[in-house]
Amino acid sequence: MLIGVPKEIKNHEYRVGLTPMSVQEVISHGHSVVIEDNAGASIGFSNEDYIAAGAKILPTAEDVFAQADMIVKVKEPQEVERKRLRRDQTLFTYLHLAPDVPQTNDLIESGATCIAYETVTDDAGRLPLLAPMSEVAGRMSIQAGAHCLEKAHGGRGVLMGGVPGVEPAKVVVIGGGVVGASATAMAVGMGADVVVLDRSVEVLRKLDAQYGNRIKTIFSTRHAIEQYVTEADLVIGGVLIPGAAAPKLITRDLISKMKKGSAIVDVAIDQGGCAETAKATTHAEPTYIVDDVVHYCVANMPGAVARTSTMALNNATLPFVLELADKGPRKAMEENHHLLNGLNVCKGVITCPEVAEAQDLEYRSPREMLQEI
């Protein structure tokens, strides 16, 4: 198989679909790889590194899309990239389609086989290709939140860990999954006063066992969210329903009741955000203010630490890339139902029920659509 890796073009996105080390593995399996010129240069992976690994460098993204059987990316394809997809091509990347109607329509029109990292599963029911970026985003959310709380950025002027004689910041983490657990670890490490809300008692029990009385674990209800969010200096939105749009747990009215100068980091923004006031921002302009509350809603947070993120992501995605290349997409998904769960769009049809429901579109099961590949 000929695998193509274009340079990412989303705002301040420096990650790359395959590292030179991953390329070497793919080529050792007998496949070919083409890389767009300087696709990884901004994070220290030069053209020479890729050539040494066995890849061929192509001058433009158009060349990569035109030649490749499978496109391996990081972020969802932007409009210009979606127009380059072919019906006989496989796309393997993050998609986050539920809140993104234009992308969904373009992928349907392309006829390509589109497999989303974020809905691939494992035997434990987890999302192994989403987890590494959720870990990065969760840890970064506390860094970003601490920055937002500085007075110069519109915040209350509160230091996360306080100082002797002055109380620390109150941090409320909504969702105790991978994002929430990672955010909690960072917030505790910085000495914040941390509350975690989740609807799974088992998740709360696990966090309680890990941190004891260093955090508070609260079962999430509307009343609990309102109580703790209005008391918070910083709110982290780490809610996830796999494949679906994030639930709007923080209403506009609740935002208006928060402390002036408090901040919210909505990590769920890739799936539409868990705050009604959330709108996607970029690393170039990461924040905005609503009702005196600083909002940080960058849709590709891990892109800011792109080298770490790329290597962590490749650790998770490489086995699936090899499986798709070695067996071909149809056989790979026939034999691995976890990979099949990643199939979101196939030959012009939606194959992810959450996306179909969110956008009121026709749905066919991914196994049924395998016959079309």
Radius of gyration of the chain (CA): 21
Residue with tokens 């460098």: 57
List the catalytic residue out of 106, 193, 270, 338: 270
Tokens of residue 175, six digits:
């969702």
Q: Count of alpha carbons within 13 Å of 70, Cβ hemisphere only?
A: 25
Helix (H) or strand (E) holding 231: helix 222-231
**Measured between alpha carbons, how far is 301 from 137 in angstroms, rounded to an integer?**
6
Asked if 73 and 17 touch (Cβ cutoff 8 Å), the reply is yes
Sequential DSSP letters for 142-160: HHHHHHHTSGGGTS----T
User: DSSP labels for 8-23?
Assistant: P-STT----SS-HHHH
Place of tokens 């690393």: 283
Residue 270 among the catalytic residues: yes
Active-site residue (options: 31, 96, 147, 295): 96
Name the residues annotated as catalytic: 96, 270
